[in-house]
Structure 1
Amino acid sequence: MREHDFRQLFVADAVSQLGIQVSLMALPLVAVLALQADQFEVGLLAACETAAFLFIGLPAGAWVDRWRRRGVLIAGDLVRALVLITVPLAWWGGWLTMPQLYAVALLIGVGTVFFDVAYQSYLPHLVRPDQVIEGNSRLEAVRSVNWVAGPAAGGLLVQWLTAPYALVVNCVTYLVSALFVVRIRRREPLPVPSPGASLRREIVEGLRFVIGHRLLRATASCTSLANFFGAMTTVMQVILLARVLELAPGAIGVFLSVVSAGAVLGAVAVRPIVARLGQGPTIWMAMAFSAPFGLLLPLAERGWLLWLAAAGSAVSWFGCVVYNITQLSFRQLLTPPRLLGRMNATMRFLVWGSMPVGSIVAGVLGQHLGVRPVLWIAAIGQMLVFLPTFLSPLRHMRVLPTAASDSPAKELSTA
């Protein structure tokens, strides 16, 4: 935090994440409450939010490796702000429709693809190699705090302003985030493409690096499955809380804030957990031991069962954040700098590309089976996602390799 440039990225991320939480509350609530969308339409909207990772995720990584990442971050924020402001304007004008929401979600997804790939590739440029895991922990901690504060704030804003107008707050946060990224002083040199480089060849190189590495392949499989079932849960959770249980937007925000408290604790606890268990065991144990608590969500009813379900989901989020920080830091330290953008984009393609599929599957199943059966399917599926990492060498590797060595690196300091 004493590093000026890291502070700017930290604040930009904090503000942006707060806005994202507002939009995660408001956009589906616009569909459910303002436009009376059914389960399939809500599932399709959720699919549109992440479809860009599936369609342009791979070329985005190759492009980001050719550009200065600071500029990509600024452009990503500005694009998302401009696109999102059309929703309250359309609502005010009386011509807001579901097709427009789909288009907005798709375009915001495009901005997010480039922002996320550049953001994860930029951090190792701003801090020393021995600070990468600490930097990720700090950024994940502020993201987790926003997961707690954001849904409650978003729920209250939706309740006070209505869902479409609450999105104005999200637009402002993207603009503030861009301003802080502008304040980063350190400039990257413009990447020089290799002789004879082509977009197709660079994409293939990124794919080969990820798929050809046994440890990366295991974490990609685990995360992809987790996101598939997580997307199913997210789609049905909104409908369960808003339509089945008929909770007010403010109460939904409080519920999601309780759930997100587990993420904050996970970000705080990751370093001592890694010190105790080792990096590899932490990766699979975090998912294996937290997933069963997700079985409480399909049982949610008004009253104490609602808050028991929230507590169970909080434990699940605790494990997800511990897993995510550990495997993300490993990926960043393992990958040579020239491949960071393509590695992150390939991972995003593989692990986020499963989310639109999960959202659509949830919408289709929700139409035929109902909300709670889909939540049961997703919760049971989450209990199996740890298997790719458990069945890999990660199970016993306390210390994981880095780009600087062909053998396992020295264990990260936990002082």
Structure 2
Amino acid sequence: MSDPAERPRPLLREPGFRSFFLAHTVSQFGDRISELAFPLLAVLLLDASAAQVSVLTALVWLPNLAGIFIGTWVDRQPNKKRLLVAADLIRAGLLVTVPLAFAFDAGTLAQLYAVALLTGAASVLFNTSYPAFFVLLVDRSRYLPANSALSASRSVSFIAGPALGGLLVQALTAPIAILVDAVSFLLSAVGVARARTTRVPASDGDAATGRLWQRAREGLRFTLAHPVLRAGLGCATTVNYFSFIFSALLVFFASRTLGLPPGLLGLALGVGAAGGLLGAVVAPRLSARIGVGRSIMLGAVVFPASTALVAVAGGPLWLRVALVAGAEFLSGVGVMLFDVNLNALQATVIPDGLRSRVSGAFSTVNYGIRPLGALTGGALGSWLGLRPTLWLAAIGGTLCVLWLLPSPIPTVRSLDQIDVPDRSDLAAAER
């Protein structure tokens, strides 16, 4: 029997992880508010069309196309925490300009487009810096519970955030709701700055050498050559493309076609997001029972397929709200089973010196497809109609599982069976 004194403390009792966890939670709540407030502001105050709202969604994700270069530049920076703080402060400053402009009746759709694009760029900086910082906060043996805790806080934000956002928009207007998100980024910057790490980053022998393009290509080559990363990237990219066809139309469809007022729409999204919390909590336990790989596959199917409930929504108001909430609930369970396990598996197989470069490559392909999905959603919604497009998104998204079937992922029972990666893995992949 192990000595209780030798057991690691719960993650939330580790000062560094706790500080980062709180910063992450606050920021996630702010994001949920803005995700609802931005399209509602465009629809309700600027009378935007479905195509214009889809462009707004696309611009948030467009900077991810440069993620491979941003991640390569990030790998050369010794202080990843400083980059995380800078990204939060940049996003806070940009968001503040929206309520200021509307306070003086100067707000325009062009400004929203610009803010969406620039905050998206700052998000890429944050997301490519995060993986290298995460492994300094958490031991390899605790990747799954740490990802579960962070995903759980994100899921809680999906429960309360949309409802809070809907109420703020309804009671105080959308610009004020966006101001709340700006404040959340300030608080997140403080929390990240306070997070202390005890681990020393692994040295990368060629971190300061080689041209930007050469090093970016190295990260992309490693990603595409590794069977786990290649399958995970293909699966995530496919599901993201179709899920953004869906998400680009969700608020417009729910507001205009289903006739849900902002408060009830926020409530439906918030109640449905309880599924995300359930999925984040259950993910480590389910992976222990059926295996990490099978949990990833299950999530890859449940996540997109459940959105079909929105496509069939109709009838009385209570039923419309219930179907939107049900779709969000099941989708939340699926996405957390997928994300928690896949993120932990990927953190296990990527060498330390390549984390930001691989993250950048993932952002370029996986997140870079999102604006294309959003624009496709706007175009198909105008051409085919909203409901047929939502059906297409639900059915097409389930095809993502085809990437996993021939890969090693379905056979992965636990992270313990994965060898610790080193730079020799890169050399082998390049040969």
TM-score, with structure 2 as normaliser: 0.90
Q: Does structure 1 residue 136 correspond to structure 2 residue 152? A: no
For 2:155, give the aligned amino acid.
S
The alpha carbon displacement at 1:290 in A equals: 4.9
**Deviating more after overlay: 99-108 vs 192-201:** 192-201
The alpha carbon displacement at 1:170 in A equals: 0.5
User: Pick from 202, 207, 211: which aligns with 1:198?
Assistant: 211
| Cα distance in 2 between the residues matched to 1:108 and 1:403 | 37
Q: Does structure 1 residue 366 correspond to structure 2 residue 365? A: no
User: CA contact under 8 A between 1:121 and 1:344: conserved in structure 2?
Assistant: no
Question: SS where residue 96 of structure 1 aligns?
Answer: coil
Q: Is the alpha carbon distance of 1:316 and 1:190 closer, same or farther for their aligned partners in structure 2, counting shifts above 3 Å?
A: closer
Gaps of 5+ in 2: 1-11, 423-431
The alpha carbon displacement at 1:245 in A equals: 2.0
The alpha carbon displacement at 1:51 in A equals: 0.3
Name the structure 2 match of 1:40.
Answer: 51
User: CA contact under 8 A between 1:228 and 1:357: conserved in structure 2?
Assistant: yes
Q: Is the alpha carbon distance of 1:206 and 1:143 closer, same or farther for their aligned partners in structure 2, counting shifts above 3 Å?
A: same
Q: Does structure 1 residue 181 correspond to structure 2 residue 192? A: yes
User: Pick from 87, 112, 124: which aligns with 2:123?
Assistant: 112
Q: Does structure 1 residue 334 correspond to structure 2 residue 349? A: yes
User: CA contact under 8 A between 1:15 and 1:177: conserved in structure 2?
Assistant: yes
| Cα distance in 1 between the residues matched to 2:367 and 2:252 | 22
User: CA contact under 8 A between 1:232 and 1:362: conserved in structure 2?
Assistant: yes
**Deviating more after overlay: 292-301 vs 357-366:** 292-301
Q: Is the alpha carbon distance of 1:305 and 1:184 closer, same or farther for their aligned partners in structure 2, counting shifts above 3 Å?
A: closer
| Cα distance in 2 between the residues matched to 1:309 and 1:120 | 33
Name the structure 1 match of 2:408.
Answer: 393
Name the structure 2 match of 1:247.
Answer: 260
Name the structure 1 match of 2:6.
Answer: none
User: CA contact under 8 A between 2:351 and 2:421: conserved in structure 1?
Assistant: no
| 1:150-165 alignment runs, 5 A limit | 150-165=161-176
| Cα distance in 2 between the residues matched to 1:191 and 1:395 | 32
User: Pick from 205, 214, 218: which aligns with 2:231?
Assistant: 218
Question: SS where residue 400 of structure 2 aligns?
Answer: coil
Question: SS where residue 399 of structure 2 aligns?
Answer: coil
User: CA contact under 8 A between 1:66 and 1:192: conserved in structure 2?
Assistant: no
Gaps of 5+ in 1: 407-415
Question: SS where residue 36 of structure 1 aligns?
Answer: coil
Q: Does structure 1 residue 404 correspond to structure 2 residue 415? A: no
The alpha carbon displacement at 1:154 in A equals: 0.6
User: CA contact under 8 A between 2:34 and 2:178: conserved in structure 1?
Assistant: yes
User: CA contact under 8 A between 1:335 and 1:402: conserved in structure 2?
Assistant: no
| Cα distance in 2 between the residues matched to 1:399 and 1:168 | 43
| Cα distance in 2 between the residues matched to 1:101 and 1:293 | 31
Q: Is the alpha carbon distance of 1:205 and 1:25 closer, same or farther for their aligned partners in structure 2, counting shifts above 3 Å?
A: same
Q: Does structure 1 residue 66 correspond to structure 2 residue 76? A: yes
| % same residue | 38
Q: Is the alpha carbon distance of 1:190 and 1:278 closer, same or farther for their aligned partners in structure 2, counting shifts above 3 Å?
A: closer
The alpha carbon displacement at 1:126 in A equals: 1.0
Root mean square deviation, CA, Å: 1.7
Question: SS where residue 186 of structure 1 aligns?
Answer: coil
Name the structure 2 match of 1:89.
Answer: 100
Name the structure 2 match of 1:411.
Answer: none
TM-score, with structure 1 as normaliser: 0.94
Q: Is the alpha carbon distance of 1:78 and 1:191 closer, same or farther for their aligned partners in structure 2, counting shifts above 3 Å?
A: farther
Name the structure 2 match of 1:412.
Answer: none
User: Pick from 83, 100, 103: which aligns with 2:114?
Assistant: 103
Spell out, residue by residue over 1:19-46, the C-alpha distance to the aligned partner (whole angstroms, 9 max, x if none).
0011101111111111000011001100
| Cα distance in 2 between the residues matched to 1:101 and 1:295 | 30
For 1:365, give the aligned amino acid.
L
The alpha carbon displacement at 1:305 in A equals: 4.0
| 1:220-369 alignment runs, 5 A limit | 220-301=233-314, 302-369=317-384
The alpha carbon displacement at 1:303 in A equals: 2.6
For 2:370, give the aligned amino acid.
M
Spell out, residue by residue over 1:130-180, the C-alpha distance to the aligned partner (whole angstroms, 9 max, x if none).
111111111111111011110011111111111112111001100000011
**Deviating more after overlay: 115-124 vs 133-142:** 115-124
For 1:347, give the aligned amino acid.
F
**Deviating more after overlay: 30-39 vs 280-289:** 280-289
**Deviating more after overlay: 303-312 vs 1-10:** 303-312
Alignment coverage as a number of residue pairs: 405
Name the structure 1 match of 2:134.
Answer: 123
For 1:60, give the aligned amino acid.
I
Name the structure 2 match of 1:26.
Answer: 37
| Cα distance in 2 between the residues matched to 1:336 and 1:218 | 18
Q: Is the alpha carbon distance of 1:193 and 1:93 closer, same or farther for their aligned partners in structure 2, counting shifts above 3 Å?
A: farther
| Cα distance in 2 between the residues matched to 1:303 and 1:245 | 11
Question: SS where residue 307 of structure 2 aligns?
Answer: helix
Name the structure 2 match of 1:169.
Answer: 180
